[in-house]
Each structure stands twice: as structure tokens, then as C-alpha cells.
Amino acid sequence: MTQNFTPNDLIKNLYEPEKGLNHILSSEDRSELAAFQQVKNALDEGFLNPSESCVDAIIAYSKRNIAIQS
């Protein structure tokens, strides 16, 4: 029996892992799932540790909006 997993199925598995799913994934699907995991890890890291330039841009934007609303 051949299982076809879409990218959406694989991404869903990152957030809601199904037990035993890795046993039925093809090597291509496992490789794609690993790539998605790397992207997820990078996004999580960016969420937890924004760059200083990003924080500075947000603060500058906030200051401009406060001056306009006053």
C-alpha cells in the first residue's frame, strides 16, 4: 500500500506528531519532514530572539505613532 503525504500533512505532523508515522513515511517524505523541521526551528529561534535591528525598528515605529496620536 502506497501512502501519499502532502506537504500540509508533513507540516501538521511537526505540530501534532502521530505515533508510528515515521514507519510509513518514505525516505523522500522523511527528508522533506526534516527540512520542514529545520525551517520550524529557525522560525522558533527568530520568534524567541529577534535581532536588535528588528527591536529598534519596532521602537522607532512606536515612537512615531505616539507623537502622531498626541
DSSP string, 4-52: ---HHHHHHHHHSPPTTHHHHS-HHHHHHHHHHHHHHHHHHHHHHS--H
Tell me the per-residue pLDDT of 48-62, one tens digit each, with 9 for 90 and over. Answer: 778 899 999 999 999
Encode pLDDT of 11-45 as tens digits: 887 877 776 676 788 888 889 889 999 998 988 88
5 confidence band (pLDDT: 50, 70, 90)? confident
Query: What's the predicted TM-score (pTM) here?
Result: 0.54
Rg (C-alpha) for the chain, rounded Å, is: 20
pLDDT score of 68? 64
CA atoms within 13 A on the CB side of 34: 8
Q: Where are the domains of the chain?
A: 7-69
CB 27 within 8 A of CB 35: no
Pair 32, 10: CB distance under 8 Å: yes
Answer whether residue 9 shows pLDDT above 90.
no
